[in-house]
Chains A and B, each alone.
Chain A
Amino acid sequence: MFTQRITAALAGATALSLALAGCGDSGGTSSSSGEAVTSLSILDYYNNEPDKSLVQKGLDACATKLGVTLQRETVPGADLIPKVLQQASSKTLPDVLMLDNPDVQQIAATGALAPLNDLGVSADGFTQGIVDATSHDGKLYGLAPVVNTIALFYNTKLLAEAGIQPPKTWDELRAAAKKLTKPGRYGIAFNANATYEGAWQFLPAMWTNGGDETDLTSPQVAEALQLWVDLVTSGSASKSVINWTQGDVKDQFVAGKAAMMVNGPWNIPSLNESPQVKWDVVQFPVNKPGQTPIAPLGGEAWTVPLNKDEAKQQKAADFVKCLSSDDNELAWAKARFTVPTRTALGPQYVKEVPSMKAFSEQVANARSRTGKLGEKWPDAAKVIYQAIQLALTGQASAQDAFKKASGS
């Protein structure tokens, strides 16, 4: 106990002197310690099992390869950014930082991250959507080894009973949802809550129909919102969608209270734990024939915060590069039901994990949320989820909701 406190005090003193050293040395000259880098600190939000251990495996493999030891800290998802800000203001950012991909540009814009191009890391061969998300002002700031997206899960047994094929168009979706709705069961479940998650779930409909975050008052966007409104007002989806998280949506689906759901592949392990539910996945339906289903890209990128210690910064960049090696991408993709970002790995991956076929197809055309608006994306996302809330609670029509939500 006592020795622990002494160690803590010493560690504190070291941190303080490092911080002071950092303050004094603002000339930008390298203060490379000259010694070999033996350890890297990491911050991420894979705080729950099994993800925590699965990610650890990949991290350990690269650590062994680069001959370093790791100090990893994990925090709950919602607390990552507050933690990063706190560490930023006390100059204690980790050597390697995981960020949710839509946050990368915002953090990069503050000048906190090292451009990876200068450190010998490139994103050649990666799916374009994710490169857009992790680049800012033409420079690459992070690499996402694996990504995910959302698509349409359906209960194969319930659809077969009703004699319905998985819907390919919105009309088919409306009809199928209606037909699948029975007492105690809704045709479809999705998340339309007042958070970024609610906005994210709306994007497949919005983007597939040609809507765009740069012009939210367009008829294409309104049409997409009308789809959500129709599903709820017709009783094919619960009124509770305005309060559901994606986790709630999954629970409804597993409990047999919803025949279809919009959700992501991270649910597959828990779906597999409920063998009574037989399911499959298709891409999100299109409004009109000829449209391509476009969904948002999810997943986390690994970045390197700027570091005075150049040797350490280089090591961290090498580490990030290693995490996106072919081997590691495949290993993580298989273990965690995500899609590898190196497009060349796609065919082999789908062969090995057939349940990820629809998601892999969906990822091929997926877009990143921050691709067009960059750090302005959160403002647009806020308008989106507020408009959805207004429309689904009957306070505005689908046509007016976006105007009203943006306050104009």
Chain B
Amino acid sequence: MPDSTLRRGVFTAIGVLILCVMLFPVYWMINASLQPSGNTLTAGFLPLDPTFAGYRRALSEQGQNLVTSMIIALGTVVLSLLVSAPCAYALSQFRSRWVGAGLLAILVSQMIPGIVIANALYTAYENLGLLNSVPGLIVANCSSGIPFAILILRSFLQSLPASLVEAARVDGAGLVRAFVSIVLPISKNSLITAGLFTFLFSWSDFLFALTLTTKGDVRPVTLGIYQYLGTQVQNWNAVMATAVLSAIPAIVLLIAAQKYIAAGAIGGAVK
């Protein structure tokens, strides 16, 4: 149908337009990263006379930090989902008077300022020897990942037809098996969505990285960026370049993850 092809083309055009508006600040940051001053005070709309000094510096100095950020973020995703998926399932399907209280407690946890948690963890980590460690930062980032994932997964699991699991139970499957072989596969979508944001929370964490490290050996890129931001002198050119570079591997990952959301809608599995 040529008519429908045209319509879909129009939608794509509108989509691109929306994206351009939403991502303009990102473009502006890229523009700034190509200015020698790192700011756009005298910049035109296009960086006609670009400098790549910031990128050279970022590439040579931030590579290791980028890897660290990636490991921590992925670790947080795995740990958060492992812990929160069963809990979210329980909160959505089991009947208990504690469910409401549990939900409220989880919500309250999200209201606590991060710095309060960070300070408490510092004291604990000091004693446990978890300062300056990747596992330590993963656990800390789970403080935003786990509650968030529980709440999100629960809201999705609520629409899970109970009959699915019950059918399996009648066939003799235990709770755990039913969860692993039925609930998890059809929740792929929501698991990815929850994982996506857990990744983003952890990726953008600055507070825990700052509080829970005391040496340079474990340093996520959010903290690494500060080696260009002195108390009095700031090298915005390198800052902006680092931000651009560090976004690239992450966005590739996000695009890959999002592809699954489109692919595995629940409708197919339920039929």
Question: How far is B119's CA from A266's CA once the two chains are assembled, in angstroms?
Answer: 33
- B168 interface residue, CB < 8 Å from A? no
Contact, CB under 8 Å: A90 / B122: yes
Which residues of chain A have C-beta atoms less than 8 A from B122's C-beta? 86, 90
Q: Does A16 contact B (CB under 8 A)?
A: yes
Q: B229: which A residues are within 8 A, CB to CB?
A: 47-48, 76
Q: Is A379 an interface residue (CB 8 A)?
A: no
Q: Is A109 an interface residue (CB 8 A)?
A: no
Q: Is B181 an interface residue (CB 8 A)?
A: no
Interchain CB contact under 8 A, A77 and B214: no
Residue of B at shortest CB range from A246? B232
Which chain A residues border B178 with CB–CB below 8 Å? none
**Is there an interface contact between A251 and B39, defined as CB atoms closer than 8 Å?**
yes
Q: Do A52 and B227 touch (CB < 8 A)?
A: yes
CA distance A284 to B14 in the complex (A): 56
**Nearest residue in B to A94 (C-beta to C-beta)?**
B214
The residue in chain B whose Cβ has the minimal distance to the Cβ of A256 is: B42
Contact A48 B227 (CB under 8 A): yes
From A11, A51, A78, A90, B233 is in contact (CB under 8 Å) with A51
Which residues of chain A come closer than 8 Å to B226, judged between CB atoms?
A: 47-48, 76
- State whether B123 touches A266 (Cβ < 8 A): no
Is B96 interfacial (CB 8 A cutoff)? no
Closest B residue, CB atoms, query A86: B122
A294 and B198 CA atoms in complex are apart in Å by 53
Q: Which residue of B lies closest to A52 (CB)?
A: B227
User: Does A162 belong to the interface (CB within 8 Å)?
Assistant: no
Assembly CA distance A46 to B125 (angstroms): 26
Kindly list chain A residues whose C-beta atoms are within 8 Å of the C-beta of B125. Answer: 12
Task: Give the complex CA separation of A243 and B233 in angstroms.
Answer: 17
- Alpha-carbon distance between A76 and B224 when the two chains are bound, in angstroms: 10
Task: Collect the chain A residues with CB atoms within 8 Å of residue B123's CB.
Answer: 89-90
Picked from A16, A48, A77, A254, the residue with its CB within 8 Å of the CB of B127 is: A16
In contact, A269 and B41 (Cβ under 8 angstroms)? no
Does B172 sit at the interface, judged by CB under 8 A?
A: no
* A73-90 CB contacts (< 8 Å) to partner B: 73, 75-79, 82-83, 86, 89-90
* B235 on interface, CB distance cutoff 8 Å: yes
Residue B204 CB within 8 A of the other chain: no
- Identify the closest chain A residue to B234 (Cβ): A247
Provide the A1-35 mask, 1 if CB < 8 A to any CB of B, else 0.
00011001111110110000000000000000000
| From A9, A48, A252, contact of B41 by CB (8 A) | A252
The reply to whether B215 and A73 contact each other, CB–CB distance below 8 Å, is: yes
Residue on B nearest A71 in the bound complex, by CB: B215
Smallest CB–CB gap between B51 and chain A, Å? 12
Contact indicator B210/A76 (Cβ below 8 Å):
yes
Known: A90-B122, A255-B37. A9 touches B129 (CB 8 A): yes
Partner of B131, one of A8, A78, A247, A254: A8
Which B124-165 residues have C-beta < 8 A from chain A?
A: 125-133, 135
Known interface pairs A76-B210, A86-B119, A255-B42. Does A12 touch B128 (Cβ–Cβ under 8 Å)?
Answer: yes
Interface size range of chain B in the complex: 20 to 34
CB <8 Å contact, A12 and B126: yes
Residue of B115, B126, B135, B232 with most partner-chain A CB within 10 A: B232
A11 and B129 form a contact (CB under 8 A): yes
Interface size on A, residues (CB 8 A): 44
Residue of A nearest to B126 (CB): A90
Taking the closest CB of chain A, its distance from the CB of B209, in whole angstroms, is 11
CA distance A75 to B212 in the complex (A): 12
Tally the A-B contacts, defined by beta carbons under 8 Å.
95
Minimum C-beta distance from B70 to chain A (A): 16
Instruction: Please report the C-alpha to C-alpha distance between residue A258 and residue B42 in the assembled complex, in whole angstroms.
Output: 12
Residue of B115, B123, B125, B231 ringed by the most chain A CB atoms within 10 A: B231
Chain A contact residues: helix, strand, loop or mixed: helix
User: When the two chains form their complex, are residues B41 and A47 in contact, meaning their CB atoms are under 8 A apart?
Assistant: no
Contact A12 B233 (CB under 8 A): no
Q: Out of A4, A73, A82, A251, which one reaches B214, CB within 8 Å?
A: A73
Cβ-defined contact, B41 with A75, below 8 A: no
Question: Known: A12-B127, A15-B126, A73-B214. Is A266-B37 also a contact (CB below 8 A)?
Answer: no
A46 to B127, CA, bound (A): 28
Name the CB-closest residue of B to A100: B231
Residues of the B chain whose Cβ atoms lie less than 8 Å from the Cβ of A73: 214-215
Asked if A359 is at the interface of the complex by the 8 Å CB criterion, the answer is no
The answer to whether B230 touches A8 (Cβ under 8 A) is: no
- CB contacts (< 8 Å) of A10 on chain B: these are 129
B193 at the interface (CB under 8 A from A): no
User: Shortest Cβ distance from A218 into chain B, in angstroms?
Assistant: 30
Asked whether A291 is an interface residue with its Cβ less than 8 Å from the other chain, the reply is: no
- Which residues of B lie under 8 Å from residue A274 when comparing CB positions? 37
Whether A47 contacts B230 by the Cβ 8 Å rule is: yes
Min CB gap B79→A, angstroms? 16
Tell me which residues across on chain B come within 8 A of A45, comparing CB atoms: 231
Closest beta carbon of chain B to A216's beta carbon, Å:
26
Interface flag for B179 (CB, 8 Å): no
Does the CB pair B232–A264 fall under 8 Å?
A: yes
List, in ascending order, chain A residues with CB within 8 A of B115's CB.
82
Contacts of B214 in A (CB 8 A): 73
Q: How far is the CA of A251 from the CA of B236 in the complex (A)?
A: 10
- Interface set of B (CB-CB < 8 Å, partner A): 37, 39, 41-42, 115, 119, 122-123, 125-133, 135, 210-211, 214-215, 226-235
Q: Which 3 A-B pairs have the closest CB atoms?
A: A12-B129, A77-B231, A48-B230
Question: Besides the contacts A75-B210, A267-B232, what 16 more A-B pairs have beta carbons closer than 8 Å?
Answer: A5-B129, A47-B229, A48-B234, A76-B226, A76-B229, A78-B231, A79-B210, A82-B115, A83-B210, A86-B211, A247-B233, A247-B234, A254-B37, A255-B42, A266-B233, A269-B233
Q: What are 23 A-B pairs with beta-carbon distances under 8 A? A: A5-B133, A8-B131, A11-B129, A12-B125, A12-B129, A12-B130, A13-B129, A15-B126, A15-B127, A48-B227, A48-B229, A48-B234, A49-B228, A82-B115, A86-B119, A92-B126, A247-B234, A251-B41, A255-B39, A255-B41, A264-B232, A266-B232, A274-B37
